[in-house]
Amino acid sequence: MDQTRPSSGSVEAEPYPFPLAVAATALVVIDMQRDFLEPGGFGDALGNDVSLLRATIDPLAAVIAAARAAGMVVVHTREGHRADLSDLSPAKHRRGNFALKIGDSGPMGRILVRGEEGHDIIPELAPIAGEPVIDKPGKGAFYATDLEAILRSRGIARLVVCGVTTEVCVHTTVREANDRGFDCLVLSDCTGSYFPHFHEAALAMIKAQGGIFGWVASSSALLAALSGA
Ligand code: C5J
């Protein structure tokens, strides 16, 4: 059986409906980490208003719960580095020129370092047993990780992508996935940016030109489709 064929119905999306194929779809939750979403983390250290990202938490919690109930594969990612920073390129380390850099000590431990408090996924969206957590040193979730192997071994061909930030790690991941042949649906209210105009532009780019990178929908459209599936 072709698992990518719709199991029933489709998600109301732009530029056109996204066929639902639950068994072949994974929910990929990008970098919902304390370092990006809580005061004292990396995002805050860069001068950003973290409350802009926190608006995604409630809708995303509902989507994760529905995905789990439907038996969808749920994958989480975290951006961060080894404690000795041996996987941090000098270029990435230099970038920004702010008071706090990756690896420096902040209020939630060393910024974007694996194992530190700030690197953890926020408690509201904590992974449950059996859900893969992908630690990634880059912006894209496929670069230098085993995400693709994990998805392919589970027969996944389609991704619902959520998380932060829309124009950086979400967008990079969607572009990487698209080039690897995955169909991506991005949920507009479950993705967020410190820059609302970047969020809007990033979503517009995904669905432009007949869905050049994928589809965009609201979480309510996915929840409606899942409840009918
Ligand atoms: C950033 C991310 N913005 N997860 N990371 O540095 O989007």
Low-confidence residues in the chain, pLDDT < 70: 1-8, 97, 229
Give the bridge partners for 135, in sequence order.
78
Q: Spell out the residues 6+ positions from residue 44 whose beta carbon is closer than 8 angstroms to its own.
A: 38, 50
What was the pLDDT predicted at 184?
98
What was the pLDDT predicted at 116?
98
**Secondary structure class of 10 (helix, strand, coil):** strand
Residues with Cβ within 6 A of ligand 1? 31, 36, 79, 139, 164-165, 168-169
Q: Which of 51, 57, 38 is nearest to 109 (CA)?
A: 38
Q: Where are the alpha helices (DSSP H) in the chain?
A: 34-37, 42-45, 51-54, 57-70, 90-94, 147-153, 171-179, 196-211, 219-228
Identify the DSSP state of 150.
H
Catalytically annotated residue among 101, 120, 135, 136: 136
Q: Ligand 1 pocket test: pick from 34, 169, 170 the residue with the most ligand atoms within 8 Å of its Cβ.
A: 169
Q: Spell out the residues 6+ positions from residue 41 whose beta carbon is closer than 8 angstroms to its own.
A: 33, 34, 35, 50, 106, 107, 108, 111, 118
* pTM, entire model: 0.95
pLDDT tens digit string along 147-189?
999 999 999 999 999 999 999 999 999 999 999 999 999 999 9
Pairing relationship of beta strands 18-19 and 10-11 according to DSSP bridges? antiparallel
What was the pLDDT predicted at 6?
47
Structure tokens at 157: 């061909």
